[in-house]
Each structure stands twice: as structure tokens, then as C-alpha cells.
Amino acid sequence: MRIFTCTPVAFGGGPDFFARDSGLLCRGFQAMGIESRAVMPGPTAPEDEADLIRTEFSNLESAKWWRAQELNGVVLYAWGRPRFRKVARAIHDAGIFLVLNQDNGGLVSPLAGVRDWFAEQWILAGQGRGLGAWWRFFQLSMRGLSIGLLLTDPLRAAHLKHSDVIACVSPKAAVHYKRLCRIYGGADLEERIRVIPHAVESQFRFDGGIKRRQIVCVGRWNDIVQKRPWLLIEAIGSLLLKDQELVVVIVGSPAPSLLDWHDDLPEQQRERVQIQGRLDRGELAEVLAASQVFYSPSAFESFGIAAAEALCSGCSVVAERSVSMASFEWFVSENSGTLTEDHDPQAHVFAIDAELTAWANGERDPLRIAAIWGERLHADAVAAKVVKMVRER
């Protein structure tokens, strides 16, 4: 059996690519004994792994080229975007089983649910923080209601109709896509939707050991609108005042505001906040395995791979309940976390404190959390789900 993954964008093809998304799923197929390679356009680069195929973009739009690969299946990471519909059509026309990965929360069109779609545009614009956010909200809304409905939606529908399976990364995203696909193509298209989450590396696991009273936060902290470092600062600052044992580890490139805040903390609090910067995968796995709680102050996430890695490492998750955090309702569903209902910092403090209390009272079982989510999210488990679909075609 031969199943390839494909990303029609010229990303780097080194170890980082094979640590997540289409590259990691390729590794998952290989772990099962399935012959698999990842396909991308662009010139070959020195860091490219040996099992990456680089080719001309025109080949990705050629049924003849795909037919020559002699494949049983392809998982295409093209986000349902109209400009990649010819790639999906070429794979379909080559007679290959096609899984279309949708890396989002499902609210890609007003047709997926008008009220929730407007709520997401508000979040994406910055939730009214400054006059610029109001202008961005207006622009996003007008674009979706004009070009989106008249041009993007019909072309996205054409893209999705080439699928055998439309893969949504969370159950909530699947609900939105079912509504959307019912409009796009009736019951036939709606029935192609499946939940296939993003894969997690097997090194993110928990086989026993000490879990410290420790919170870990992972993000690109310079992304002010999405990652909301200001919210992290306020929430963690309040927790440090009330909890003298708490340790906080902040991973990822820090925003200047985060560094300034850390420098200004009283010494006793500063010693309990570790700003680690970027860590390699093994180092991050060690931090997660030693922590109790993963906290995400994000305003939106298409999936939340860092949270998924934390769950596989036996952490519970705290985040905000939001239409733009679709995966997180799923992530906390196995006695594995708490969601706050508000983006007020004190609401986040209350949720984190409640989660730490649950750990202190023995209400969280890291071995159980890691086992449940590892069986769902580890790369070989996600790959096995796809293989089963290909075999049952």
C-alpha cells in the first residue's frame, strides 16, 4: 500500500516539517509499514529529508503525474482553498482515494453559521481593542459577505467535491462543515465528513513520574492579536500573588512586553517564572511531561497542536470557550481540563486555579489523560484511521 501526503506550498522540508501536519502524518504511515512520502512544490533544499518529493507545481495539477505515482491514497493539506482546487481535481481524476484536510475550526464561510461566523470575524479582528480592530472587523465582514459568498464559496465547493473524505480536525469543526457541505452539495457531500485530527509525535507521552505544580504556556508571543501575551501577563501575575508554590514555564519567542514584565517581577515571583524561548522537540516533551496544566490565552486556534501535545503528555488544558477555539471543547471532554467563559483576565485566573485545585484533590489522572489522547492523536493512530478508510473504499 502506498499513501502519500501533499502540501501545495513550498515550505521547508527539514525536520521541523516532519514534526507536524502533513510531514508527521507521512511518518505515521511509515510507522505502520505503509510506503509513504510527502510531496511539495519548489526547488530541492539542503535540509530536505530524503522522503520528501519536490516537484513542479504544474505536476501537482496533472492527473497523469499523480497516476504515475501508483498510489492508493493521498492526504492533501490544501485547506479547501479555491486556488488549489486543480490539485484536488488532478488527484481525483487519477483515481486515487483523496482525503482533504481542513485545518480550521469550520467557520470558513457565513454559510457555516452566520452568528458564529460574525463572532469569529470579531475575534480575528482583535475583539474591539483599538479603533483599528473595528475597521478590520468591517473589512473581514464585508469581504466574506461579498467576494466570499459570490466567488470563494462556489470555488471551495468545487474543491471539496473532488474528495472521498473531508477531514475536519475537531468534532465542532465537523458540525460546521456538515452545514456548509449540505448547502454546497447536499447529503452526498455532507456524508464525506470525518473527524481526523492533526497528528502528535509519539515522544509526547506520559508513562509515569512526578507532575509538578507547574503551568506551561507555548506560543509565538509576538503575535499580539492571536496569542494575547497581555492576557497571559495579567492572569499569571495574579496567580503568582495567590499561589506561593506555583511554577510557570513560558515557551516560544517572547514579546518585548513579556520580557519587561518578567524583569519587573519581585525576585520571589521572578524565580518561579521561566521564560525558555524556543525549545527543541525533546526539551518541550520533557517540560510537558513534568507539568500539570497547559494554559492557552489564545483568541483563536485552527487546532491547537501545542495543547494536543500537552494532553498526550498527561497535562490538562485551560483555555477560553470560543467559536474560534473549536478543538478545545473536545480537549477538555475527558476530565482533562477547564474552559473559561470570558476573556476577562480574572475569569482565566479562576479557571486555572480551579484546574490546579482539581490536581491537588486527585481529580486529574495524568496516565489516563495521556492514554486517551495518545490513542487519538499520536501519528500512528491518526494514520491508522486514514488507512482504514482507504481499505474500505
305 phi-psi bin (left φ>0, alpha ψ -120 to 50, beta other): alpha
Average pLDDT, the chain: 96
pLDDT at 132: 86
Helices (H), the chain: 21-31, 57-60, 63-68, 85-93, 114-125, 131-143, 153-160, 171-190, 224-227, 229-242, 256-264, 267-270, 281-290, 305-312, 326-331, 345-360, 366-377, 379-391
The pLDDT score that the predictor gives to residue 129 is 78
Give me the residues paired with residue 102 across strands: 168
Question: Could you report the per-residue pLDDT of 330-379, keeping only the tens digit for each?
Answer: 999 999 999 999 889 999 999 999 999 999 999 999 999 999 999 999 99
Cα(191)–Cα(319) distance, integer angstroms? 31
312: how many CB neighbours lie within 10 A of its CB? 28
Query: Does residue 228 come out as left (phi exceeding 0), alpha (psi in the -120 to 50 range) or beta?
Result: left
- pTM for the whole structure: 0.95
C-alpha cell at 219: 506560543
What is the phi-psi region of residue 130: left when phi exceeds 0, alpha when psi lies from -120 to 50, beta otherwise? left
pLDDT at 343: 86
Q: How confident is the model at residue 393 (pLDDT cuts 50, 70, 90)?
A: confident
Q: In whole angstroms, what is the distance from residue 167 CA to residue 136 CA?
A: 30
% helix / strand / coil in the chain, to the nearest 5? Answer: 50, 15, 35
Helix/strand/coil for 379:
helix
Q: How far does Cα 169 stand from its chain's mean position?
A: 8
Q: Which stretches of 65-197 are assigned E, i.e. beta strand? A: 73-77, 97-102, 165-168, 193-195
pLDDT digits (tens, 9 = 90+) for 239-259: 999 999 999 999 999 999 999
Model confidence over 125-148: pLDDT tens digits? Answer: 998 777 789 999 999 999 999 999
Whether residue 67 has pLDDT greater than 80: yes
What DSSP line would sit under 250-270, residue for residue? EESPPPHHHHHHHHHS-HHHH
* Cβ proximity of 87 and 76 under 8 Å: yes
Distance CA 159, CA 92 (A): 10
Q: What is the tens place of the pLDDT at every residue in 74-122?
A: 999 999 999 999 999 999 999 999 999 999 999 999 999 999 999 999 9
Q: Show the cell assigned to 268.
A: 520571589
Determine the Cα–Cα distance for residues 170 and 114; give it in Å rounded to an integer: 20
In angstroms, the CA 393 to CA 389 distance is 6
**Identity at 117, one-letter amino acid code:** W
Residue 131: the pLDDT is: 79
φ, ψ of residue 94 in degrees (nearest 5): -80, 0
88/325 Cα distance (integer angstroms): 27
Residues 6+ apart with CB under 8 A from 374: 200, 202, 205, 312, 381
What is the Cα–Cα distance from 363 to 273, expressed in whole angstroms?
25
Report whether 214 contacts 292 (CB < 8 A): yes
C-alpha cell at 200: 502528535
Cell of 137: 472587523
How far is 314 from 283, CA to CA, in rounded Å? 16
Looking from the CA of 42 toward its CB, the CA atoms found within 13 Å total: 16
